[in-house]
Amino acid sequence: MKKSNKLPENWGRREVLRSILFTAGAASVPTWLAGCVGGSSSSGPVAGATPSATPPPVPDTKQLVGRFANIGPLGAPDVNGVRTPDGFSTRVVAINGELPQPGGMSVAGPQTGGIGNRPWHIFPDGAGVVPRANGGWIYVSNSEVPGVGSLGFTFPELADVASAIEEFTPGLAQVGTLVFDPDGTIVDSYTILSGTTFNCAGCITPWQTWLSCEEFPNGQVWECDPYQPGEGLARPTLGFFSHEAIAIDAGNRMLYLTEDMPDGRFYRWLPDPADWPEGAERAALQAGRLQVLCVDGDGVAGAVNGPQPIRWVDARNPHEPQHQNRLPESSEFDGGEGVWYFQGIVYFATKGDDRIWAIDVAAQTIEVIYDRATAQAPNDILSGVDNLFVTAQGDVLVAEDGGDMQVVVILPDRTLKPLLQVTGQDASEIAGIAFSPDGRRMYFSSDRGGRNGLGGFTNGLGMIYELMLPEGL
């Protein structure tokens, strides 16, 4: 691992702001958040969720044209400061420090009263949606608050010391929810995890729990029940490293995990037979093998020119921090970000080189499907790659951390289109893309957006948007 006290040139806003937060101290953290404590480390199944045994079938990849293939150019910013194509509209549904409102947040200013028993959390990042029995849904959102352990992320030479101190210092991050009725009314808001550190992304499992990832060198994955207030359960079998995001291949009973470090690796987790038996609705996530990706052929660099063969090796000392246990044959990926499994392909992003990768699970190959350094106009509009979401029609939605504060669509034919752009919040990033079960509403966060005091929005401590899609799309 290369050690330096100089900020890397490819750092996004997240890394710079994290460094500023540590330099300035914790005084800027709201006082209500300082009460977050605890976090269970016990194991066992999460109760209360509604299981879903297998994902619904999706069309043949060869027939996909993309849900957003025919959207038009972005228009002028709307009242919420968001540029969208014609026919789309937006609503603000949560703002840091304010109680969510049934009909969404007023543009004019904060409102009295509201839903839930605590203000919306700061720095909302990765997110997902689970369905409710009444036809509504629950939006689950991580809070990416740094802690002592995050010092090891910003300054790798401090990773060991910072991780040791983190063990005795309750984190200030959490996971919150927005509960929607079928008509889009917000009816509740509560916390399902607290006391953790720098919770970045994660994923909704096929059995409708939320896996929340801690992004620091000794970070863990926590499984949470979105359907009721409570605390998550640590899943140490999924490894100790700077977790960013997770994708699940339920058919093959495998999990794929990204690591957000300059010398990060790409991982998969294979359950022990008793942990996820064939035909079982869910994995217990208590026992399995953590493996690391090795790119053969022309290696990682060659993947820009075409598919390269891959293989997997068991991680060294999987119950120890992986930055201390690098395997020489494993391949480096510069800042792993979002990851998504779709129809036999595992897509993931790396921010250090602005690339989107695709692993063919059956062929066991890897290739780069977007490379900022070699992209040609008009397909060069994507930079600061971060969270990913793949639609059932094969669109790869990429949220920008930096760049132009856009969500950019990579269509199945690998052409690019902007889906939206947030204006006036240049110190923020977009994350937390998720859709309502009917696909009509898309949610996303500006994790450092907020009110400007004049009836509009600017940089702040985080807010959640809803994008309403036009009829027929």
How would DSSP label each residue in 64-120?
---TTTT-----S--TTSEE--TT-EEEEEEEBTS---TT---SSS--SS-SSSSPB
Cα distance between residue 339 and residue 358, in whole Å? 10
**Torsion sign, CA atoms 360, 361, 365, 370:** positive
What is the pLDDT confidence band of residue 29, given thresholds at 50, 70 and 90? very low
- pLDDT for 409: 98
Percent of the chain's residues with pLDDT above 70: 84
Given this model, what pLDDT does residue 56 score? Answer: 40
- Kind plus residue range of the DSSP H or E element containing 259: strand 254-259
SS3 of residue 381 by DSSP = coil
- How do residues 262-321 score in pLDDT, each as one tens digit? 999 999 999 999 999 999 999 999 999 999 999 999 999 999 999 999 999 999 999 999
Tell me the average pLDDT across 106-135: 93
Q: Alpha helices of 167-213 — where are they, by DSSP H?
A: none
The answer, yes or no, to whether residue 90 has pLDDT greater than 70, is: yes
When pLDDT is averaged across residues 216-223 and rounded to a whole number, the result is 95
pLDDT tens, position by position, 174-186: 999 999 999 999 9
Per-residue pLDDT at 8: 37
Better-scored residue on pLDDT, 116 or 252? 252
Q: Taking 90 as the threshold, does the pLDDT of residue 137 lie above it?
A: yes
Query: Quick check: 150 and 183 in contact, CB under 8 A?
Result: no
Query: What CA–CA distances, in Å, run from 227 to 13, 46, 188?
Result: 33, 10, 11
Strand 173-180 relative to strand 137-143: parallel, antiparallel, unpaired?
antiparallel
| SS3 state at 349 | strand
The predicted model gives 346-372 an average pLDDT of 98
Q: Which of 64-68, 129-133, 437-441 has the lowest mean pLDDT?
A: 64-68
Cα 364 to chain centroid, rounded: 25
Phi, psi of 282 (to 5 degrees): -150, 165
Query: pLDDT-derived band of residue 162, with 50, 70 and 90 as boundaries?
Result: low
CATH no., domain 13-468 = 2.120.10.30
**Residue 200, pLDDT above cutoff 80:** yes
Whether the pLDDT of residue 17 is over 90: the answer is: no
Say yes or no to pLDDT of 168 above 80. no
% residues pLDDT > 90 (the chain): 77
Query: Using CA atoms in the order 364, 126, 418, 306, what is the torsion angle rounded to 10 degrees?
Result: -10
338: pLDDT strictly greater than 90: yes
Bridge partners (DSSP) listed for residue 242: 215
Per-residue pLDDT at 64: 87
Q: How many Å separate Cα 434 from the centre of its chain?
A: 10
CA dist 382 and 132 (Å) reads 35
The domain spans of the chain are: 13-468
> What pLDDT is attached to residue 45?
37
Query: Read out DSSP for 211-238?
Result: EEEEBSTT--EEEE-TTSS---EE-GGG
Read off the tokens for 1: 């691992």
Question: What is residue 166's predicted lDDT score, i.e. its pLDDT?
Answer: 63
Is 58's pLDDT higher than 50? no
Count Cβ atoms within 10 A of the Cβ of residue 54 and give its class: 0-12 exposed, 13-18 middle, 19 or more buried: exposed
- 8 Å CB contact between 211 and 226: no
Q: How confident is residue 152, by pLDDT bands cut at 50, 70 and 90?
A: low
Q: Would you put residue 39 in left (φ > 0), alpha (ψ -120 to 50) or beta?
A: left
Mean pLDDT in residue range 388-414: 96
Integer angstrom CA distances of residue 447 from 145, 153, 431, 432? 11, 19, 7, 9
Confidence at residue 19, expressed as pLDDT on a 0 to 100 scale = 38
3-state secondary structure 312-348: EEECCCCCCEHHHCCCCCCCCECCEEEEEEECCEEEE
Average pLDDT value for residue range 398-419: 96
